[in-house]
Amino acid sequence: MASNPFRIGVPVTGEELADRETELGTILKEVLGGSRLFLISPRRYGKTSLLLESRARLQARKIPVAYVDLYQATSLAHFLDLFARAVLEAAEGTVEKAFRIAGEFLRALRPTMTVNAEGQPEWTLGFSQQQPDLLKLRDQILALPQRLAERKKGRLAVFIDEFQEVRALDGLALEKAMRAAFQQQPRVSYVFAGSKESLMWEMVRSRRSPFFRSGPTLSLGPIPSREFKIYLSNKFRESGMRIVPARLDDILTVGDEVPFNVQYLCHALWIVKGGTGDVSSQDISQALDYILASEGEYYTTLWDQLSLHQRRTARGLARSGGATPFTAAFLRKHDLGPSASVARSLGQLIKRDVLKKSRAGYHFADPFFKAWLLAKIP
């Protein structure tokens, strides 16, 4: 049996990436031009896949790219270790060369090398959160990209994913140190990517933020429906399934045109159809049921974590068909009390990534959670 052509839960690159040529072109132009670009994206829109594909295309042009995921960092020391190793490995090309050069550039540290269960080399620089000279080492590490680029007499790019998490590590102090260091690095380009939109926009728009107006921004939106439908149609055809344009429209509607959700729905469709046959409306409904069953425990836990007022607000929005949550009729129908209480609940639901806000109003960040609410919460 052929494998499922709709991959979920892992970043994709190359032919597996749906469109995004415009965004890829922007990232490449900004990086090659020496910019510090801010990539701001909702969750589930393929941000990490876009970064990894950009890295691959830049590396094909002989531009080394270091990739750092700030979600992995548990402390300032851990971040410095991740950042330094990523930059060293990108600049030097191999773990062994990076390990050797680390001792030359960071004499205060004692790098150690081990071999993992797969026989691959792993190493660490040996940072400690209690290190007395941690702040001095911080500044040395942040200056490292420029020093390595100068050593190679070339350019270097650094991609920092989930950049907004920098504030959880050392507040504004680390952010200020990064800004001070990075603006002195003419040979290094940076892409700061984040999925907590409100925080990322605050970081680039607030005059109190160290990174206020320090580079161009790129906001990641839905994949254009025409290009997305061509991509999906080709995937279905290559896997031995057939789908008419009307069913592709249904898929985009059910998935709310969110790239991850659309891919997830197609993944489930392939499973319920056994990878063969024509896709019908009933098949799409069965695929949605499959997803709700698979995610049921997660959605139940999420629901349990909400306050009673947040639950009533979410339930009301799910059932309102897009009605504004501040009208007297909405407040009365869903027993929500004063509008100030609704505003607080909406704010908390946005922080929890249950809702997102746009010019058109409030929407569920995960359309499948909305479908679960409609099916499970009477």
Supply the mean pLDDT for the chain.
92
Most confident of 55-59, 107-111, 196-200: 55-59
CB-neighbour burial class of residue 264 (10 A; exposed 0-12, middle 13-18, buried 19+) = buried
Q: Specify the amino acid at residue 170.
A: D
Instruction: Name the residue ranges covered by the structural domains of the chain.
Output: 20-219, 223-305, 307-378
- 180-214 pLDDT, tens digit per residue, is 999 999 999 999 999 988 899 999 999 999 999 99
Scanning the structure block, which residue is given the tokens 């490449």?
28
- 307-359 pLDDT, tens digit per residue, is 999 999 999 999 987 668 899 999 999 999 999 999 999 999 998 989 988 87
- The candidate with the shortest Cα–Cα distance to 294, out of 358, 179, 371, 205, is 371
Residue 220 in tokens: 């990641």
The answer to whether 79 touches 73, Cβ cutoff 8 Å, is yes
- 355-373 pLDDT, tens digit per residue, is 988 877 898 999 999 999 9
Partner residues linked to 38 by β-bridges:
192, 217
Please report the pLDDT score of residue 356 as a whole number: 87
What separation in angstroms does the CA of 265 have from each of 1, 180, 289, 294? Answer: 20, 45, 10, 12
Q: Say if residue 237's pLDDT is above 80.
A: yes
- The candidate with the shortest Cα–Cα distance to 162, out of 139, 133, 195, 206, is 195
Please report the pLDDT score of residue 323 as a whole number: 67
Higher pLDDT among residues 160 and 129, named by residue:
160
The answer to whether 46 touches 260, Cβ cutoff 8 Å, is yes
CB-neighbour burial class of residue 214 (10 A; exposed 0-12, middle 13-18, buried 19+) = middle
- 71-94 pLDDT, tens digit per residue, is 999 999 999 999 999 999 999 998
Instruction: Say yes or no: domain 307-378 is CATH 2.30.30.
Output: no
User: Mean pLDDT over residues 223-251, rounded?
Assistant: 93
pTM of the shown model: 0.88
Pick 20-219's CATH classification: 3.40.50.1820, 3.30.70.1520, 3.40.50.300, 3.40.50.10740. Answer: 3.40.50.300
Give the H or E element holding residue 104: helix 95-105
Please report the pLDDT score of residue 87 as a whole number: 97
**Residue environment code for 265-279, b if the CB has 16+ CB neighbours within 10 A, otherwise e:** bbbbbbbbbebeeeb
User: Mean pLDDT over residues 107-130, rounded?
Assistant: 81
What separation in angstroms does the CA of 7 have from each of 109, 177, 263, 265? Answer: 41, 39, 7, 11
Q: pLDDT band at 1, cuts 50/70/90?
A: low
Query: CA-to-CA distance for 134 and 362, rounded, in angstroms?
Result: 43
User: Mean pLDDT over residues 151-179, rounded?
Assistant: 94
Please report the pLDDT score of residue 322 as a whole number: 64
Q: Say if residue 115's pLDDT is above 90.
A: no
